[in-house]
Amino acid sequence: MHIVLGKGDVDIPSREVLLAAVASMRPPASGWDVQFVDVQVTVDSDVEARAFMTVEVRSEDARAGERSLDAREARLTLVNQNGDWIVTTAESPQSLTRP
């Protein structure tokens, strides 16, 4: 798995690095609301596919009482391994909105 955010601003080269980054995150007490919207999947063959979507992350700052939204386009490549579709790359080239 390989993840790139922005124009190379964040580059996560492996599953292990991703898991370490997620484990170190401290979400707000109210948590995050993550939604995948406008999802389009193109199956190129029996073993390869691509997915395009918008990822929206909503959260609330408990101290300020303000809600925030971060929406980003995402592109994924997938491979079929023994009947399971596995994400091999994920890219988010730019932020769509950041209030």
Sort 4 into a burial class: Cβ within 10 Å, 0-12 / 13-18 / 19+.
Answer: middle
Sort 75 into a burial class: Cβ within 10 Å, 0-12 / 13-18 / 19+.
Answer: middle
Domains of the chain, earliest start first? 2-97 (3.10.450.50)
pLDDT block averages, 10 residues each, the chain of length 99: 66 80 79 92 96 91 78 92 91 62
**pLDDT at res. 7:** 62
**pLDDT at res. 80:** 95
| Rounded-to-integer distance, Cα 65 and Cα 70, Å | 17
**pLDDT at res. 91:** 87
Are 70 and 99 in contact by the 8 Å Cβ rule? The answer is: no
